[in-house]
Amino acid sequence: MVAGEGAIAPLSEDVGRLREAVEAFRRRPKTGRTQEQISHELSQVRVICDVMELEFSDLASEFAATDEYDQQGFDSPISWLKQVCHMSSGAAGDRVCAGDQLQRLGQSADALATGEIGFAHFALIARTAAAVGGRFDEVELLRKARKLNIFPFRNSCLHARHAANPERFVNEEKEGVEARSLTLTTADDGVVLVQGILDKVGGAALRTALEPLAKRAGKGDHRKLDRRLGDALVDLSMHALDNGVPSRRPHLQVTTSLETLLGLSGAPAAEMEFSLPISAKAVERLACDCSVTRILLNSDSMVIDVGRAKRLVSGPQSKALRVRDGGCTWPGCDRPATWTSAHHVVHWIHGGSTDLPNLVLLCYRHHWMVHEGNWQIVRTDDGCIHTIPPLMGFGSRSREPD
């Protein structure tokens, strides 16, 4: 397809040859081949696909220079390519850019035609050439493309763009910051749908905070990665840190009746700010280590008395608890003390005391498992922690969690 200084051969001849090659592959015997033969054919077909992508890019660029898309009722050539050619916006943009830069990237086109690089490499080179302009060095970038896979090569392209025009690079990062957004939508059942965009630094900061919290918690932790990341985000929100020192936790305002707090039958759910009503079990968990303010209402919901807020676990008790337990006490869990909260083995709602022998540290996930998940946690006289799984019907108990 490509010859000399990037000159493009007649399209019909190239397409004809490529179609003949594709037909030859289709007619090939599909049995009796060795593994080596299969891998060789696979690589050859990939080269043909990449060359066809370059042909498509040349056509896409030519099409984008016309007003045909407008005459067909589309607002841009990218929209036309998305609809008619069944492509994503990014893929369509890459093809148009690659076609625009094709005449300028003769060496890279030759390398693609011989299978030294793939179309994904070429698209990155084209994007870099378009961004850098006259300071673009095809030889150096192509040398790296021949050696690197796509992800590390993308970094090489970004380095080249920064070296050539650091001011533009910074402006693009500013645009990323300005594009930050976070949308929280509450579904009918109270589940919150999260959708957002973060810039490079913001995204890296979030992932840096979440990744350690999203590790599997022991051998029995079978949660998938997306579930673990979701749990980690909640964990991060519930136990914020400030320069490595535990800060005051987020203030969650929950309004509940005494009947709900006691878990009595027929009691209503509790009200929580920024949320739909929550269960008595969730209230019980949140009440393990919180400040409680008594507010009495009359029959017309008028406030007739407000008591003082009472901290159920005092500051000295909290410090002693962290020194004693060192972190989450659930067997196999490695959450540090700064990412835990105090749990009453016998809840204070049911008469349990707020003394160290009746308190243990639990991370957010395992605290949830004890209350909403109906696991039981027992501290023996020698200080050992044992967990008891919930009953599954009338059969035998399920086995270990971790």
Check pLDDT > 80 for residue 402: no
Give tens-digit pLDDT for 257-301.
Answer: 777 777 777 777 777 766 667 777 777 777 776 666 666 665 565
Note the Cα 320 to chain centre separation in Å. 36
Lowest mean pLDDT among 1-5, 252-256, 315-319: 1-5
| Beta strand segments in 110-168, E | none
Give tens-digit pLDDT for 196-220.
Answer: 998 887 888 888 888 888 888 777 7
3-state helix/strand/coil string of 209-236: HHHHHCCCCCCCCCCCHHHHHHHHHHHH
Give tens-digit pLDDT for 30-72.
Answer: 777 788 888 988 888 899 899 999 999 999 999 999 999 999 9
Burial of 129 (0-12, 13-18, 19+ CB in 10 A): buried
**Average pLDDT for 365-371:** 84
Could you identify the residue written with the tokens 């659930």?
330
Rounded to a whole number, what is the largest CA-CA distance in the chain? 91
Burial of 116 (0-12, 13-18, 19+ CB in 10 A): middle
Give tens-digit pLDDT for 304-363.
Answer: 555 555 556 777 777 888 888 888 888 888 888 877 888 888 877 777 777 788 888 888
- The rounded percent of the chain whose pLDDT value lies above 90 is 29
Residue 53, classed as helix, strand or coil, is: helix
**Average pLDDT for 123-141:** 92
Task: Locate the domains of the chain by residue range.
Answer: 2-175, 181-246, 251-311, 313-402
What is the pLDDT at residue 1?
A: 41
Check pLDDT > 50 for residue 7: no
- The rounded percent of the chain whose pLDDT value lies above 70 is 81
What is the pLDDT at residue 334?
A: 81
Check pLDDT > 90 for residue 398: no
What is the pLDDT at residue 289?
A: 66
What does the radius of gyration of the chain's CA atoms come to, in whole angstroms?
31
CATH number of 313-402: 1.10.30
Instruction: Give me the chain's average pLDDT, please.
Output: 80
CB 348 within 8 A of CB 310: no
DSSP string, 384-402: -EEEEPPP-TTSPPP----
What is the pLDDT at residue 129?
A: 95
Report the distance separating Cα 160 and Cα 101, nearest Å.
17
Measured from the Cβ of residue 165, the count of other Cβ atoms closer than 10 Å reads 16
Give tens-digit pLDDT for 286-298.
Answer: 777 666 666 666 5
Check pLDDT > 70 for residue 4: no
What is the pLDDT at residue 307?
A: 56
What is the pLDDT at residue 226?
A: 93
> 120: pLDDT confidence band, cut at 50, 70 and 90?
very high
Report the distance separating Cα 199 and Cα 215, nearest Å.
24
355 token code pair: 């003394």
> 169: pLDDT confidence band, cut at 50, 70 and 90?
confident
46 token code pair: 């990939």
